[in-house]
Structure 1
Amino acid sequence: MLIPLFPLPSVFFPGEQVALHIFEERYKQLILDIKETTGTFGVPVYIEGSIVYGTELRLDKIIKTYDTGEMDIICIAVRSFKIISFYKTMGNKLYAGGEVYFLNYMDDSVASLRENVLRLILELYKLMGVSIVNLTKDNFDIYLLIHKIGLSLAQEYKLLQMTYESERLLFIKEHLINTIQVLEQVNQSKEMIGMNGHFKNFDPIDFKDFKL
């Protein structure tokens, strides 16, 4: 399928709301074009000098149009794709385009794994001193929290390519465990640093079985 492309160094996941400021002439043209046609365009992830995988976005609304033609828009991420071929310009348009095929996601996760990941996220937020309101197993959507659990761009990009829910959750679980361990070590170090210059109360040593 041929779609307009708007490469960005960002990863978006299905269901995510995306706010964009459009200022380049080619992308002003892109938004005006899709507004009158399909309403969708692709955002391939620009990473390490290449674009292969990305996400289709649907234009939800144009919040503001400036005198310069610049726009503030809201989009909804729809589905992920892989680029088959890329064109620097799409026909006589200023913007790029490409042939893509859409990835089929398989929801093969089990409730216990989802609940485990949820528990780890709550533990992570507690360690960071961040409150998260009304997050339960019933309304838990990992994709709405992807950008808020300390993943790097490379990690998010790797997640985007995974087509099985269980694989994605296991990847996130491992990341959370590692991150929590690091934070715990940092907190312990902060406590140790805080003890410097203070009087220390040591437990008395029992020399009963002491040998020289």
Structure 2
Amino acid sequence: MTNFIPIFPLGVVVYPGENLNLHIFEPRYKQLINECKDNNKPFGIPAVINNRVSELGTLVSIQEVSKTYDNGEMDIKTTGVEIFRVLETISTIPEKLYSGAIVNYPENVEDKGNRELMQKVVLAVKNLHELLKIKKDFNKPDEALISYDIAHHAGLSLEEEYELLGLFQELQRQEYLKRHLNKVLPIIAEMEHLKERVKLNGHFKNLSGLDLEI
């Protein structure tokens, strides 16, 4: 299916099912949000990477306008719906301040993938958080988590998050996260070990002499 959607380019990657809170302050996006809210229509958030609007993005629906300020600014809650691919950007739309795009929607498999693999990925993310001294509640039982639920919490760069957005099989996304975590966990663990060694440096140490035969 191909259709036209208003777009709100942002320097973030949004995944299907993700809840995203936004503060709306620019006139063009205040107009976009008001029109989408009044007409119960979604809008698209294509990822901006290296100051360029990327080909892929995520359609989001407005769940709630949490607050409207006297100057028309808004706090809104949105939820990611599905991934789109930009076919053509429409920079100028009559009587509109915002831009739009002609998009289609790649087939995206959002099944459970390999549950055993996913549990290993979840455990690896928890190990990462423990090393970084981060506490994170995913608000879901471990067995219900999928790649989109934890991708933002696996230490991916923006570019890597975008690469994952372009994988349209859950098993592919799980494998991508596994490879990433297998790469970064030893590095983080070594950094923590080094930090502990640096902390000890210069302090008196109570060390027992070794009974060596010399």
The TM-score normalised by the length of structure 1 is: 0.89
Quick check: 2:66–2:74 contact (8 Å CA) kept in 1?
yes
* Counterparts in 2 of 1:138 and 1:108: CA distance versus 1, 3 Å: closer
Sequence identity percentage = 33
1:19-58 to 2 correspondences below 5 Å: 19-51=21-53, 52-58=55-61
Q: Deviations over 1:126-145 (max 9, x none)?
A: 22233345764323243233
Residues in 1 aligned to 2:135 and 2:60: alpha-carbon distance in whole angstroms:
30
The TM-score normalised by the length of structure 2 is: 0.88
Task: Structure 1: state its 5+ residue gaps.
Answer: none
Q: Which moved more, 1:162-171 or 1:125-134?
A: 125-134
* Counterparts in 2 of 1:131 and 1:66: CA distance versus 1, 3 Å: closer
Q: Which moved more, 1:120-129 or 1:149-158?
A: 120-129
* Counterparts in 2 of 1:132 and 1:20: CA distance versus 1, 3 Å: closer
Q: In the alignment, which residue of structure 1 is the partner of 2:210?
A: 204
Q: Which moved more, 1:132-141 or 1:192-201?
A: 132-141
Q: In the alignment, which residue of structure 1 is the partner of 2:118?
A: 114
Q: Deviations over 1:151-195 (max 9, x none)?
A: 111111111111111111111111112221111111111122122
Q: Which moved more, 1:91-100 or 1:128-137?
A: 128-137
* Counterparts in 2 of 1:170 and 1:203: CA distance versus 1, 3 Å: farther
Paired letter, 2:64: K
* Counterparts in 2 of 1:80 and 1:201: CA distance versus 1, 3 Å: same
Q: Which moved more, 1:26-35 or 1:126-135?
A: 126-135
1:4 shift after superposition:
0.4
Quick check: 1:4–1:90 contact (8 Å CA) kept in 2?
no
Quick check: 1:4–1:42 contact (8 Å CA) kept in 2?
yes
Q: Deviations over 1:7-63 (max 9, x none)?
A: 111111011111111111111111111112242000111112322111101011111
Q: Alpha carbon RMSD of aligned pairs, Å? A: 2.0
Residues in 2 aligned to 1:185 and 1:167: alpha-carbon distance in whole angstroms:
28
Quick check: 1:108–1:164 contact (8 Å CA) kept in 2?
no
Residues in 2 aligned to 1:146 and 1:172: alpha-carbon distance in whole angstroms:
7
Paired letter, 1:184: A
Say whether residues 1:125 and 2:129 are aligned partners: yes
Larger Rg: 1
Task: Structure 2: state its 5+ residue gaps.
Answer: none
